[in-house]
Structure 1
Amino acid sequence: MDLFGESSNWETKLKPILKKYKGKKHPLDYQNTYQLLIMVILSAQDSDANINAISPTLFEKFPTLNSLAKTDFDSLLPYINKVRNYVTKAKWILEIAETIKNDKDIPLTMQGLTALKGVGRKSANVILRETNKPAEGIIADLHVIRVAPRIGIIKESKDGNKIEKDMMQVLPKNIWSEIGMAISFLGRETCRPKPKCSECLLTGICLYYAAEVA
């Protein structure tokens, strides 16, 4: 079977998870675009649960980008010092705040977002999806990196950017906005490192299931 051919008809095959997870909010518990941007940056190589735990105090102290722009490094650190790589992330966040200054000026394009320190394609794709902007790529977080090759959409790789690029070649653009997050939710809930195949909606098309379980 040619996994990279249009004959694969992935839009139809993936419909069960597209339907189940359509529009489901990202696990980061943000209230606006400013909070989403900061939390996405903080969540790199850390858990969403940890970022959700520290964010209420952080945003009570710094409710806007403008308030962050007016603070300094030493004042910010106590609010994020439980986050992995917090020193580097503090520098990135302060630079972004000083550059953009106002929440309404946060760029909402792939080019604009990835120009910001600490925002790669994965983070930008999350922000574009959550703010209902046109997709310019596909979210490829650690769950997608694990699950998409298991299903058989693309070949295995540890490189998120390669996974994203390969998925963009295979999947129709009209599902880009939702499919990355749908696969991510499947990976969080069902297709864990030790997968719960008996609970999965995609066993009928999954290469891993066909090879390992069926």
Structure 2
Amino acid sequence: MDLFNKPIDWKEELLPILEKYRDKIHPLEYRNIYQLLIMTILSAQDSDDNINKIALAFFNKFPDLLSLAQSDTKEINIFILDIKYHKNKALWIFNIAKKIKNESHITLILKELTSLKVVGRKSANVIISEAKVTLGGIMVDLHVLSVAPRIGIIKPTKDGSKAEKDLMAVLPREIWNDIGMCISFLGREICRPHPKCYEYPIKYCCQYAMKQ
């Protein structure tokens, strides 16, 4: 079956994934949008688990953006030493705190969020989706880049922006808010480098699973 040439009702086909993962808690253990903003920046090229380990001490010291803005990069760095590229990230979050100053000023508009340095579309889409605001795009992380082509939704690419555009072209807008993280969870739990196809919730339409 050539899934790229045959029209597919992806909302219907992906329903098992949406039902399985739509209500799953985000792996970053945040308590508010301020924490999520900071944690998504810190998690770049690092693991969610590692960010969660430093979160309690970090946010006890810096409970809001104002406390971050009134600090300095040396003090911030002390609390994130175990994170990759901690010196750069200390500067990034300090500069954002100085610019925004108050969490009530954190925008939930995609274009405005991505205008902040170091906040890419992936992070912005996560923040907006978790805030339950309608997305203007689809969250694409490394798991989505791997899994979406395996399923057959898009063709393989290493370019996150291209993958997002391709997904937006074929997936109905009403599932944009959920589908990125749902596919990401699928990649974390089942569709791994050596996928557990016997657990696959949509193996009847997955190109990879059909070949096994």
Partner residue, 2:86: 86
Map of 1:97 onto structure 2:
97
Matched residues, number: 211
Q: Secondary structure at the match of 1:155?
A: coil
Question: For residues 64 and 202 of structure 1, what CA distance do their matches in structure 2 show?
Answer: 42
The question of whether the paired residues in 2 share the 8 Å contact of 1:73 and 1:90 is answered with yes
Amino acid in structure 2 at the alignment position of 1:42: L
**Residues in 1 aligned to 2:194 and 2:64: alpha-carbon distance in whole angstroms:** 40
CA distance in 1, matches of 2:123, 2:87: 19
* Contact kept in structure 2, 1:89 and 1:118, CA below 8 Å: no
Q: For residues 143-162 of structure 1, what are the structure 2 equivalents within 5 Å?
A: 143-162=143-162
1:130 aligns with 2:126: no
Q: What's the CA shift for 1:162?
A: 1.0
Deviation at 1:4, TM superposition (A): 7.1
- Work out whether residues 68 and 94 of structure 2, in 8 Å CA contact, stay in contact via their aligned partners in 1: yes
CA contact (8 A) 2:3 2:152 kept: no
Report if aligned partners of 1:42, 1:89 keep a CA contact under 8 Å in 2.
yes
Residue 73 of structure 1: how far off its partner (Å): 1.0
Contact kept? 1:143, 1:183, Cα under 8 Å: yes
CA RMSD of aligned residues (A): 1.1
Matches within 5 A, 1:9-88: 9-88=9-88
**Structure 1 pair 4–30 and aligned structure 2 pair: CA distance change class (3 A):** farther
Paired with 2:113 and 2:145, the residues of 1 have a C-alpha distance of 22
Structure 1 moving runs of 4+ over 6 Å: none
Q: Any idea what the Cα deviations from partners look like across 1:20-49, whole Å, max 9, x if unmatched?
A: 111322100000000000000000110000
SS in 1 for 2:79: helix
Q: Which amino acid aligns with 1:204?
A: Y
Deviation at 1:203, TM superposition (A): 0.7
Name the amino acid aligned to 2:66.
Answer: N
Unaligned runs of 5+ in 2: none
Give distance in 1, aligned partners of 2:179 and 2:135: 11
- Tell me, yes or no, if structure 1 residue 3 matches structure 2 residue 4: yes
TM-score normalized by the length of structure 1: 0.96
CA contact (8 A) 1:151 1:208 kept: yes
1:93-131 per-residue CA deviation (whole Å, 9 max, x = no partner) reads 011000000011111110111011211000001001100
User: Aligned-pair distance for 1:2?
Assistant: 5.5
Separation of aligned partners in 2, 1:83 and 1:77: 10
Contact 1:11–1:175 (8 Å) recurs in 2: yes
